[in-house]
Amino acid sequence: MRHSVEALSIPSTLLGRTLPCTLLVPSGGRAEAVLYLLHGGYSHHREWAGRVDLAGLAAGWPLAIALPEGEFSLFIHGYDGRNWERYAALEVPEVVEKRLGLSLDRARRAVAGISMGGFGALHLGLTYPDRFGAVATLSAALGMAWWEIGRSPGSPFLPALGPMESGTRAWVDPWRTLERALAAVGPEGLPALWLATGTEDEPEVTEAHRALHASLERAGVPHTYLEKPGGHTWEFWGRETASLLGYVAGALHLDGTPVPG
């Protein structure tokens, strides 16, 4: 049976606000694990479930899916002082898992995202490897710290990233984040990683993925890396969501039968 869809409110002490979250719950409320799905820039917490049949695609697994609101935060501790990172890594799971009646360890918790949310998912998974057992990204905006979209005048990402010389940009650079994670827990302590991008995406997106893939290989980090036909579009993301869910379910060792995408 299909997952049911609920609207949650997440009170955040860190942000001084209450934010919305879309929650998909397995039929009968039989969740054994949770996937936190992070939306992209110029998007919101409802869009992924609105464009893709998440409730149907996830029906074969005891996997709850939470889609928190992230605005233009990149899900980082921003230059503006707003700590969206700890909100996403700590406050959101506390509320979601209390609602589900779960007490989870990293082996039953995953984070994934699209574009900006892919950047955020990788950042959270590598920064909190003790909290997430798997990370999956679609068209992750790995170069937000230096791409034009993250530095042009009027960019909505400037409050989070700050000026080009900001320490925030240097700190959240994915390669720096990977270095810190490797120094802390080594390759064997990292979450399972799945990275997918479209071959018709912007060249800077594809090149950044290839560079990160090479860095992970040099560091001996097990991971799945995919380049598949498609662009930076919902046509690609919608088509590959089933694969993302299947990877996460496998990485979290969930029993079930996937629903074909």
* Domain-embedded: residue 30: yes
Confidence of residue 255 (pLDDT cuts 50, 70, 90): confident
Torsion sign, CA atoms 158, 160, 165, 166: positive
In a domain, 197, yes or no: yes
Average pLDDT over the chain reads: 96
Structure-token match 């040099």, residue found: 218
Residue 97 belongs to some domain of the structure: yes
For the segment 36-51, the average pLDDT, to the nearest whole number, is 98
Instruction: State mean pLDDT over 173-179.
Output: 98
State the residue range of the domain holding 18.
4-251
Cα 127-217-258 angle, rounded to 5 deg:
70
pLDDT > 90: what percent of the chain?
93
Question: How deeply is 143 buried, as exposed, middle or buried, from its count of CB atoms within 10 A (0-12, 13-18, 19+)?
Answer: buried
3-state DSSP helix/strand/coil percent for the chain, to nearest 5? 40, 20, 40
According to DSSP H, which parts of 109-202 are helical? 116-127, 158-161, 167-172, 174-185
Give a yes or no: residue 110 inside a domain.
yes
Interval 68-79: pLDDT, tens: 999 999 999 999
DSSP 99-114: HHT----GGGEEEEEE
Question: Which tokens is 134 given?
Answer: 């798997």
Decide if 215 is inside a domain: yes
Q: What is the CATH number of the domain that holds 99?
A: 3.40.50.1820
- Decide: pTM greater than 0.95: yes
CB-hemisphere CA count at 13 Å for 13?
A: 4
Work out how many domains the chain is built from and give that number. 1
Residue 257 lies in a domain: no
Asked whether residue 261 is assigned to any structural domain, the reply reads no
Place 48 in a pLDDT band, splitting at 50, 70 and 90.
very high
Is residue 261 pLDDT above 70, yes or no? no
214 vs 240: CA distance, rounded Å: 22
- Does 259 map to a domain? no
Question: Within 13 Å, how many C-alpha atoms sit on residue 86's CB side?
Answer: 10
Q: Could you give the strand order of the β-sheet that contains 134-138, starting from the edge strand earlier in sequence?
A: 4-12, 17-25, 63-68, 33-38, 109-114, 134-138, 192-198, 224-228
